[in-house]
Amino acid sequence: MKRWWAVLLVLALSAWAQGTLKVGVVVSATGPAASLGIPERNTFPLIQEMVDRQGGVAGRKVEFVILDDASDTTQAVRNTRRLVEEGAVAIVGTATTPASLGMIPVVAEAKVPMISLAAGKEIIHPVDAQRFWVFKTPQTEELMARAIVADMAARGVKTVGYIGFNDAYGEGWARFFEAELKAKGLQLVASERYNRTDTSVTGQALRIITRRPDAVLIGASGTPAVLPQRTLKERGYRGLIYQTHGVANPDFLRVGGRDVEGTLLPAGPILVAEQLPSTFPSKRVALDYIQRYEAKYGIGSYSTFGAHAWDAWLILKPALERALKRADPARDLAAFRAALRDELEATRGVVATQGVFTFTKEDHLGLRFEDAAVMVRVENGRWKLERVFR
């Protein structure tokens, strides 16, 4: 008799387990990319709460298996492999471009759809045999560069100077920015580089000033982006100064202080969600996310990076619902993963916190810069909405 009970229990447990959808998550909760990864990790408990309250997806429980990659590519790849073997229906993550690139061959080989939370365009472009399985939510540099150049053109800027990090970030920006300038007929008169750890950029600043550009873009992220701006101002530059969305954090304002007043930068609309016009499509979704995040982690605690994880779920959920009609993950996991990928690609007009997602066979980012970027100005140490493009 006892044995029968045990068998029954095992059957019941496995039936329950079969009903659960496992979503693998890789985040950089520690290491240099932690400032991106921690808000992303913090977002998943919010998603879990929401899903549980709604009774799961199409009646099935959803379980998020979250692994930390310590901002390390090797660890991200190892985590991905483990999540795939544990039967994850999809992988979400991770925050950095190199680590995301490392994960692509793994998910492509195992035929598991993946939604990256990193910025680099090369993660989803071109959509080849491997990237067939890969989607992503954050805006690319290209998208943001388009917003900057559109803003410059609207202000009648003719000549532009550039100073950026002497690494992948600064080079990527230089490339997309230059291409975008050429397309709009603006002239790049100086292109300088500096290092995150540099203590002086006087030489570069003087070089730029001698060319007298109408505007300067600083292709840097975080607090090291302050130094060129301060040096340009100290050396008497009076033109417009643009930064990238890599500075959209409170630390930049804290270190920059008066030196960064008037800075123009492109940003995901969630940065200034409450200032958006009520017709802006993502305003309601963004405010909803912020409210949930701040209710759990405190006022002012949210950052734009966690919103990318929220967006990944907003895309994943309807795709899961549709895929569940076509295949049963408990019976045939491979078929379900393939169906889920097709349904992800079929995503049309999903309004999320950072824009409106419409994927196609050639476009696995699915954002238009008009919906996904706004121009922001630093005013009295706060972000102020300057321009929307739609």
Would you tell me which residues interact with another protein (CB under 8 A)? 32, 34-35, 163, 166, 192-204, 206-207, 210, 222-224, 226-227, 234-235, 251, 255, 257
Rounded least distance, CB 387 to another protein, Å: 28
Listing DSSP states for 287-355 in one string gives HHHHHHHHHHH-TT---HHHHHHHHHHHHHHHHHHHHHHH--TTT-HHHHHHHHHHHHHT---EEETTE
Between 52 and 251, CB nearer to another protein: 251
Rounded least distance, CB 350 to another protein, Å: 33
Kind of pairing between the strands at 374-379 and 382-388: antiparallel
Beta bridge mates, 351: 356
Between 140 and 191, CB nearer to another protein: 191
CA atoms within 13 A on the CB side of 152: 32
Rounded least distance, CB 219 to another protein, Å: 13
Structure tokens at 30: 């520690």
Rounded least distance, CB 208 to another protein, Å: 10
Residue 129's Cα: distance from chain center in Å? Answer: 23
Rounded least distance, CB 201 to another protein, Å: 7
Between 28 and 347, CB nearer to another protein: 28
- CA dist list (Å): 75 to 115, 146, 217, 284: 18, 34, 34, 36
Taking the C-alpha atoms of residue 252 and residue 255, their distance in angstroms, rounded to an integer, is 5
Between 255 and 351, CB nearer to another protein: 255
Rounded least distance, CB 210 to another protein, Å: 7
Between 84 and 247, CB nearer to another protein: 247
Between 54 and 200, CB nearer to another protein: 200
Rounded least distance, CB 71 to another protein, Å: 10
> Among the residues of the chain, which ranges form H helices?
2-19, 34-53, 73-85, 97-110, 141-154, 168-184, 202-210, 226-234, 250-256, 283-297, 304-326, 333-345, 369-372
Nearest partner of 106 among 122, 93, 117, 118, judged by Cα: 93
Between 98 and 222, CB nearer to another protein: 222
